[in-house]
Structure 1
Amino acid sequence: MPLSEEKPAKVAPARADRPLRGITLLLVSSIFLGTSDATSKYLSTTLPSIEIAWIRFLVFAVIMVPAMVPGSPLFALRTQRPMLQITRGVALLGSSLLFISGLRFLPIAEASATSFVSPLFVTALSIFFLGEKVGLRRWFATAVGLLGVLIVLRPGTSAFHPAAFFPVVSAFAWACTLILTRKMSGQERTVVTMTYSSIVGFAVLCALVPLVWVTPSWHDILLGLIIGVASTAGQWIVVLAFRYADASVLAPFSYIQLLWVTLLGFVIFGEVPDVWTVVGAAFIVASGLYTAHRERVRHSKLVALAEPSPNP
């Protein structure tokens, strides 16, 4: 098709300032994501982590099929940043697979608390990949968060389990996912990014799953479907939440997921977090909240500088 006849690319819907709706959506997403995590831990007793992730991404890919069909009004395979999309898909897969691997050995509250260190990794990575300047106070918040991780993990003690590194590396991979998402913001629609993530994750896992395959029972398949639907719905609702409120507004409410997974861990697995897990989680949450606050302050300053002066 000649360039002059090419249809204009679809753009993302305009953002609406409705913080209460955004907060409500984020709270709903925590239920889906917490359910996905708890079900993954339950299923990890019978299936390998790679196979659980494969079922999860299979369901994800099936949900995104309408966006893969040429001629469909939802078609979303046209991208301006194919390599970034593929890299983001690999990072998302790594985050999911590592977290599920950690759940196999760790209490769900401990794994989830550790995984919430991802905003601190985003702070560090934004310097190198986004060219952002990070002040002393944000670095201090990062140090506090890392101290919280050490309190939760307690390396060098009898409470330490080597699998504790899985959610930490998972958090780093998720931070890479967020950084790549930021780099593509304003250029790629959300549906395009989600479509590529489903394809990349499913393709990589199809190559790995034959190495560890265990024939699942119908019960396992049902739980796998729950994981896939819950995780996909949760991620999509998070995206919707950010259409209605800023990240700094939503950040405090994202930690409600810790309470939800702790409750699920107690009801389903009889897990009660020890005092050190609670203290470490408090450090991580406080660090994340302060980082979100500094991000809001930085954004306000940028907006103020961008506004035209009333006295030219």
Structure 2
Amino acid sequence: MTKTNPTGPLMAPTDRPLAVPPPQAGPLQDRQGSAILLICASAFIFAAQDGVSRYLGSTYSPVLITMLRYWFFAVVVLAMALRQPGGLRAMRSNRPGLQIFRGVILALEIVVTIEAFVQLGLINTHAIFACYPLLISVLSGPVLGEKVGWRRWLAAGIGFLGILIVLQPGSGVFSAKAALPLLGAVMFATYGLATRKVGRDDTAAVSFFWTAITGAVVMTAIGLPSWQPIAAPDLPWLLALCIGSGVAHFMLIKAYELAEASALQPFSYTQLVWVSIFAVVIFGERMAPHVAVGGAIVVGAGLFTWWRSRQRERAARRG
């Protein structure tokens, strides 16, 4: 769910060769095109997952739903790892501490965001959650050693102005509950930065493995007390949620391995389009004008940051 990826070139220079060099087959644009397709596909799956999570979260504890997702995720990943040459030994990480951190933060983010879907609805949650690429853009300086210029800071400021418009008093969103999607955005931005950073040393398969196992362990520890039987009609939805989670997150990890986050961020916003469609058509939600305006400002700020990043890249190639 929550939710596949995150602006600016997130791969900071290193003073030593990467332990896992980027793929060399095919020109750069081919890899970038594949990464864009992966991001768009993951965005659609994440949006569909959000709808299923909202449905299940109105009946079951978000902690229980997330735990069951991760159990399925872990079984699939273990089976895949055992079929690889070297088995589980091939899944050793060069950055185990960082892998554990990103796995835990993602699992907890899913719980927080499912609760936000139930409390605020899909549209209102995503209007706030859409600020996560701006958070990545700003945090890429202290975390990844990028230079963050004044334009990027200005775009982030405008984006957060859009959040304030969404949260205007009397809107029905302005409440303590509104902290949930904002917290989820901070957590997902942290996960995105950690994923990019760990990708310098570990392959996508290794990160995929650690995401599943770490999440399964932490969610089992906190989720068993919330156990309750799943009604038979809900089992197909839970299975779809589990399968979609594994597929979408692998797409997200692989996309970041193939291309710079700065090239991928605009396409992450397609999730907001799909979520809005599902929310209106399936759940009967209404998009209030101030939510639409605020969300558009947030997305516009993110797109401006991406555009500036691409301009810098072109200038560097010419000069």
The aligned counterpart of 1:14 is 24
For structure 2, the residue ranges without an aligned partner over 5 or more in a row are 1-18
The one-letter code of the counterpart of 1:14 is: Q
The aligned counterpart of 1:41 is 54
Q: Does 1:287 align with 2:315?
A: no
Choose the corresponding residue for 1:184, options 189, 198, 204: 198
Q: 1:294 to 1:264 in 2, by over 3 A?
A: same
C-alpha distance after superposition, 1:62-119 (max 9, x if no partner): 2211344387456442111110111111111122111111111112011122112111
The aligned counterpart of 1:63 is 76
Choose the corresponding residue for 2:278, options 264, 267, 271: 264
**Partner-residue secondary structure (3-state), 1:273:** coil
The one-letter code of the counterpart of 1:119 is: P
1:89-238 to structure 2, matched below 5 A, reads 89-155=103-169, 158-238=172-252
1:15–1:243 contact (8 Å) kept in structure 2? no
CA RMSD of aligned residues (A): 2.5
Cα distance in 2 for residues equivalent to 1:228 and 1:303: 43
C-alpha distance after superposition, 1:242-289 (max 9, x if no partner): 566543443222212111111111122101211111101101101111
Q: Does 1:27 align with 2:37?
A: no
The one-letter code of the counterpart of 1:204 is: V
1:55–1:225 contact (8 Å) kept in structure 2? no
Choose the corresponding residue for 1:54, options 67, 73, 86: 67
The one-letter code of the counterpart of 1:129 is: V
The aligned counterpart of 1:250 is 264
Cα distance in 2 for residues equivalent to 1:123 and 1:241: 18
The aligned counterpart of 1:310 is none
C-alpha distance after superposition, 1:7-29 (max 9, x if no partner): xx876643642254443333322
- What is the number of residues matched between the two proteins? 297
C-alpha distance after superposition, 1:101-158 (max 9, x if no partner): 1111112011122112111211232222222221111000000111111111225765
Which range is displaced more, 50-59 or 23-32?
23-32
For structure 1, the residue ranges without an aligned partner over 5 or more in a row are 1-8, 306-312
Normalised to the residue count of structure 1, the TM-score between the two structures is 0.86
Q: 1:73 to 1:108 in 2, by over 3 A?
A: same
Q: Does 1:85 align with 2:99?
A: yes
Q: 1:141 to 1:153 in 2, by over 3 A?
A: same
Query: How far is 1:187 from its partner?
Result: 1.0
**Partner-residue secondary structure (3-state), 1:46:** coil
Which range is displaced more, 220-229 or 292-301?
292-301
Q: 1:39 to 1:192 in 2, by over 3 A?
A: same
Q: 1:155 to 1:135 in 2, by over 3 A?
A: farther
1:86–1:197 contact (8 Å) kept in structure 2? yes
Percent identity, aligned pairs only? 33
Greater Rg, structure 1 or structure 2? 1
The one-letter code of the counterpart of 1:252 is: P
**Partner-residue secondary structure (3-state), 1:198:** helix
The one-letter code of the counterpart of 1:44 is: G
2:155–2:305 contact (8 Å) kept in structure 1? yes
**Partner-residue secondary structure (3-state), 1:223:** helix
Cα distance in 2 for residues equivalent to 1:30 and 1:71: 28
Query: How far is 1:200 from its partner?
Result: 0.9
1:247–1:292 contact (8 Å) kept in structure 2? no
